[in-house]
Structure 1
């Protein structure tokens, strides 16, 4: 199947860097994520992925983050075989195919209409899986999702591109729509948001980051039903020994300074 030329800008364009990272990892003999579908798609898409700002050698960090959220997703689905998954800002992620949820799971990939149009051209359909083309900040899309089952909200690489008021309103809408569930996502501290001016992929895409969060107390204050059950620094997840030397050194330094260690955090909230 042919794939048209990809023309994305701003935060939408950052999905190309993460897709490229997963593809580079897949072709490595020491692959972490084994996302062969991402590799196949990169080979088919009419785009020069070397322009994304992600360099060879950096793919392990992308794969480690994806693997971490895959694990959290599988843990939730094992405990809730009948549930709903909202994969927000899904981009061209193949998570639904990697996780392969059971028949009791309703899975929704949500992203901008042009991103979803691209997904529909390159990824196969599957039972229990739907896509929704909308900005996640638009309140109307959630009305298309039944609120009768526990929900897992996966938002990898999303929150920083939202404005604070947009993100908080999104969280509250979901909490009020479902009987219970979890949010799993990564967030930058306010210092981390400022440091993203050095992030090549974000600079190349022309994207803007906005929402910085400094710990669980801020997130729990969004809605009284929210409880922060996990807050893991990005440098504390399993597998950093597989990263290039520069990343390993950065991780060691970051662990010595709390402000650096908490610049990027993986959160799990329950309600």
Structure 2
């Protein structure tokens, strides 16, 4: 089978960096995430991944962040075995394969049509798993999703690329469509926006972060049903001890500065 030629630009191109980060972790002697499928998919793509800006040190960060979100997703599915999962801006993430939910879970991977077509060619089919090719902010795609069950919305690496008004409209539409559920996602603060050029994969892709969220209050103002269940700084998640020494020291110093500590946060919202 000939390798898949992939030519993506802007925020779409960052999915190649995170895929490569998970592959580097899987190939390491002591993997954090152990995403063997990501490593396999990288081998089947015709692309110079060294140009993504991803390296072994950044791959540790990619892996520990993905593992953190995976744990929140697993917790929800353990208590809601018939839930609907909306994996928004899924890119080439292998989360549905890593977590292997039971077929009673309806899992929807949603991304731009060209990204979804790439997923169809690269990933195996599985029961209960559906693909929707659409911009997540073109809300008509929601009509394809039954609204009876509790919903888990997973949006890793997505919200900061959305126009703030469209992002709020997306969250509001989901809250009003489903009987209840959770959102799990990462976000950056306004300071995180101002320092985005320090993010090598974002810079290499010529992508631009545009939505900075200034704490839980800004999110809860989107809809009265929303409540904040968790807000965890990226500097507080488990695994930073696995970073190379210089990066580990830099992360510890940054974590002592309140504004910097709030620059990247993982949120879990209930409704």
TM-score (norm 1): 0.98
Residue pair 1:86, 1:151 contacting (<8 A) in 2 also:
yes
Residue pair 2:85, 2:151 contacting (<8 A) in 1 also:
yes
Residue-by-residue CA offset, 1:213-271 (whole Å, 9 max, x unaligned): 01111100000000011000001001111111122112211221100101000000000
Partner of 2:255: 255
Q: Distance in 2 between matches of 1:24 and 1:8?
A: 20
Partner of 1:81: 81
Matched, 1:193 2:193: yes
Residue pair 1:3, 1:121 contacting (<8 A) in 2 also:
no
Residue pair 1:3, 1:122 contacting (<8 A) in 2 also:
no
Residue pair 2:25, 2:56 contacting (<8 A) in 1 also:
no
SS across alignment from 1:57: helix
Q: CA RMSD in A?
A: 0.8
Partner of 2:51: 51
Residue pair 1:150, 1:180 contacting (<8 A) in 2 also:
yes
Q: Distance in 1 between matches of 2:7 and 2:45?
A: 11
Q: Distance in 1 between matches of 2:195 and 2:80?
A: 38
SS across alignment from 1:250: helix
Partner of 1:18: 18
SS across alignment from 1:58: helix
Structure 2 residue ranges without an equivalent (≥5)? none
Partner of 2:172: 172
Partner of 2:213: 213
Residue pair 1:116, 1:132 contacting (<8 A) in 2 also:
yes
TM-score (norm 2): 0.98
Runs of 4+ deviating beyond 3 Å: none
